[in-house]
Amino acid sequence: LSDRERVLLTPGPLSTSRAVREAMLRDLGSRDVEFLAITARVRERLLALAGAEASHACVPLQGSGTFAVEAAIGTLVPADGQLLVASNGAYGRRMAAIAGRLGRPCSLLELPETSPVDPEAVARALAGPRPPSHLAVVHCETSTGIRNPLEAVAAVAARARVPLLVDAMSTFGALPVDARRTPFTALVASANKCLQGVPGVGFALVERTALAAARGRAPSLALDLFDQHEGFERTGQWRFTPPTHVVAALARALDELEAEGGVAARGRRYAESCRVLVAGMRKLGFETLLPDALQAPIIVTFLAPADPRFVFDAFYDGLRRRGFVIYPGKLSETPSFRIGCIGDVSSSDLERAVAAVAETLGELGVSSPGTS
Ligand SMILES: Cc1ncc(COP(=O)(O)O)c(C=O)c1O
């Protein structure tokens, strides 16, 4: 099999570099001094990426990103608190579902999937007679690809003195965030999106003061960020079996992020890939769900063509045979599919992907991919 048999144009797991995969070829013990040093350094570097060294702690957690989101909500929102989720998609709704499962009172400030979260509406909700104890927002709703105005929402939350929890799962490492200018209480992300590591670990950057106040609060033993953090601080070790290979791969991925020129350079590469993808697909006749001004350079939602010969599974299969893996849509109403721009992927990969789309349409007999 070739090294890059298929390009993953998905929101994670995504295409990783050979060096990142090779970083996993060693077995390191959980108490190995080298592994503990790798863990400590990764924690420092993740904080530094957000300008949060002075104010926050980085708490990595085994599992996918959702585990870290659940841990952050359970650890930071008290049982007598009230979480408000400003939501415009599936990942916002998921945060509310998590709060519900954990028995944390929660309400949704829900917007249509094609409208960015509105900071003024959030400000009104925070100024109501019974303001929430915590606010949560998703930076890029990967379900559509829309970019939410994190900086403006954070400013509103700070003005109202309401702690903000950010799901930056699909943006961290590609869209800049700086805790000194964009105040947040917790920001959650994972290894296998814009950091270009492999799946298996998430992390939360949590304000030290908020973490210190959270002893004994989490309703879960494994998903307790206070205990997890205390473990790292006391012994440098993970509380439970660490994902050693995944952490080694993340360390290598962080080297590559730095070598690329950091978050700004990575964001530029993704933006160029996104531009090439959207231009090519529009030329074929596809329509994007979002106008360009609302689109994050992470993943693009295309509307499914009206032609009944367009069947997603056959389209997916045709692209897979040509070396590209795409993603189904995640809209509540409109049929759609998504193509990602993130990962160890270049704009020329996206050019080839568009050519593969054209070929696959020919195979399906779809001559015009418009929606009407
Ligand atoms: C914004 C956002 N939040 C949460 C998640 C959930 O992460 P995971 O699938 O790793 O649990 C994702 C995954 O794509 C995401 O894009």
The mean pLDDT value for 326-353 works out to 94
Which residue of 14, 61, 66, 98 sits with most ligand 1 atoms within 8 Å of its CB, as the best mutation to test the pocket? 66
Cα of 95 from ligand 1 centre, angstroms: 11
Tokens representing 17?
């570099």
| Run of H or E residues at 58 | strand 56-62
Span 30-89, pLDDT tens digits: 999 999 999 999 999 999 999 999 999 999 999 999 999 999 999 999 999 999 999 999
Q: Is residue 331 scored above 70 in pLDDT? A: yes
Which residue of 169, 192, 246 sits with most ligand 1 atoms within 8 Å of its CB, as the best mutation to test the pocket? 169
Q: Whose CA is nearest to atom 7 of ligand 1?
A: 65
The mean pLDDT value for 276-299 works out to 98
Strands 186-190 and 164-167: parallel
Cα of 106 from ligand 1 centre, angstroms: 20
Vertex 67: Cα angle to 62 and 73 (nearest 5): 130
3 — pLDDT class (breaks 50, 70, 90): low
pTM of the model: 0.97
Q: Whose CA is nearest to atom 8 of ligand 1?
A: 65
Cα of 145 from ligand 1 centre, angstroms: 12
In this prediction, residue 1 carries a pLDDT of: 34
| Run of H or E residues at 217 | none
In this prediction, residue 4 carries a pLDDT of: 62
